[in-house]
Structure 1
Amino acid sequence: MLVLEDINVYYGAIHALKGISFEVNKGEIVTLIGSNGAGKSTSLKTISGLLRPKSGKITFKGENLAIVPPQSIVAKGISQVPEGRRVFANMTVIENLELGAYLRKDKTEIKKAMQHVYELFPRLLERNKQISGTLSGGEQQMLAMGRALMSQPELLLLDEPSMGLAPILVKQIFSIIKEINASGTTILLVEQNAHMALSIANRAYVLETGKIVLSGDSKELAESEEVRKAYLGG
């Protein structure tokens, strides 16, 4: 479904992604794990068109994304939940969700998508007229995910969904990620909580300073001595 081949990305003189290659197959949850500054968020921003690779190829369902503007990438079926949630703080919950469907014209389908979001996140229905900036961190994370789902993406990019959340909320968010995947959405997950990420993913790639140093079945990686020492505290 999504294939990155030999991607190189720079921030000025800094070589942020050094020839990385990976793929995400339809129906999978794939996770990128690694420490801060490893290139995880840069990878997602490059896929969604917010950063442009200096070289390499990104294809989604066989189409080259490197020449497609970000808003058109959303229209092609890729939606990103940014790190830090980035909800529109001065707008209500329902207005944020409606913005997630800005490219869509079918009111009946938008209504169905909204219903699906409220089923996944009942708290948002309770708070639908509330100003988003007054929500808790967990509620804002739910809203950011709900907003991304309003475009009915085939591939959902999640950037650090557990950041800053209490452990009980982290479990809840990861349970919902599994539910979103089970309902047919493919997921690429960037996450510092390697233990949680590996527990729900089919496959994983380990990034270190802009390079992929390990990849494979997530259960096998969770049991790998190298991964346990570096990321799982064992």
Structure 2
Amino acid sequence: MLKIENLHIKYGAIHAVKGIDIEVNEGEIVTLIGANGAGKTSILKALSGLVKPSEGTITYDGKVLNKKSAQDIMKAGISHVPEGRRIFADMTVLENLELGAYQRKDKEGIKKDLEAVYERFPILKDRSKQAAGTLSGGEQQMLAMGRALMANPKILLLDEPSMGLAPILVKEIFSIIKDINAKGTTILLVEQNARMALSVATRAYVMETGKIVMSGTGQELADSEEIQKAYLGG
């Protein structure tokens, strides 16, 4: 479904991603774990067209994405929930959600998906007329995920969804991620909470300084002594 081959990303003299290969199959939750600065966010930005790779190929459903605009990539079925949520604070919750569907023309489908988002995140329905900036961190994360789902994506890119959230909310967010996946959306997840990320992952890749140093099933990596020492406090 999604294939990354020999991907290099540079910011001037900084070589952030160094020739990585990643594959995401339909129906999977694939997670990238690693320390800050490993290059995980850069990969998601390249996938959604926000950053252009200096080398390598990104293929989605057999089509090369490298030169496509962020708008075209979203239209093709890839939605990105960025690190830090990036909601529109002065707009209402409903307006934020409607923006997620701005490229769609199917009014009935949009209405149906809005109801589905409200069903999944009831708090957003309760606060639909509130300014998004007045929501708590957890509610803003739910709004960012809801907004991405309004594009009716085939693949959801999630960047640090648990960042800054209380442990009880982290569990709730990961439960929602599993539910979204179970209902048919493929997920590529970047997450520093390695324990939670591996617990939901079909497969996982471990990144260090722009390279993939290990990969396997979520369970294999969770059981790995090396991973436990480095990322799980084992």
TM-score by length of 1: 1.00
Aligned to 1:215, the other structure's residue is in SS state: strand
Equivalent position SS for 1:124: helix
Aligned counterpart, 2:116: 116
Give the equivalent residue in structure 1 for 2:204: 204
Aligned equivalent of 2:61: 61
Taking only the aligned residue pairs, the percentage that are identical comes to: 70
Give the letter aligned to residue 55 of structure 1. Answer: E
Instruction: Tell me how far apart the structure 1 counterparts of residues 202 and 46 of structure 2 sit (CA, whole Å).
Output: 22
Spell out, residue by residue over 1:138-174, the C-alpha distance to the aligned partner (whole angstroms, 9 max, x if none). 0000000000000000000000000000000000000
Residues 105-184 of structure 1 mapped to structure 2, 5 A cutoff: 105-184=105-184
Report the RMSD for the aligned CA atoms in angstroms: 0.4
Unaligned residue ranges in structure 1 (runs of 5+): none
SS in 1 for 2:44: helix
Matched, 1:226 2:219: no
CA distance in 2 between partners of 1:97 and 1:205 (Å) = 31
One-letter code of the match for 1:211?
Answer: K
Distance 1:49 1:21 in 2: 18
Moved over 2 A (4+): none
Distance 1:219 1:38 in 2: 22
1:106 Cα offset (Å): 1.0
TM-score by length of 2: 1.00
Counterparts of residues 81-96 of structure 1 (less than 5 Å): 81-96=81-96
Mapping 1:16-35, distance limit 5 Å? 16-35=16-35
Aligned residues: 234
**Separation in structure 2 between the aligned mates of residue 2 and residue 178 of structure 1, nearest angstrom:** 19
Show structure 2 runs of 5+ residues with no match.
none
Q: 2 CA distance for matches of 1:179 and 1:4?
A: 26
CA distance in 1, matches of 2:140, 2:127: 11
- In structure 2, the residue matched to 1:45 is 45
| 2: CA distance, partners of 1:183 / 1:231 | 30
How big is the shift at 1:40? 0.6
Shift of 1:67: 1.1
Q: Residue 52 of structure 1 aligns to which amino acid in structure 2?
A: K
Give the whole-Å Cα distance in 2 for the aligned partners of 1:230 and 1:116: 39
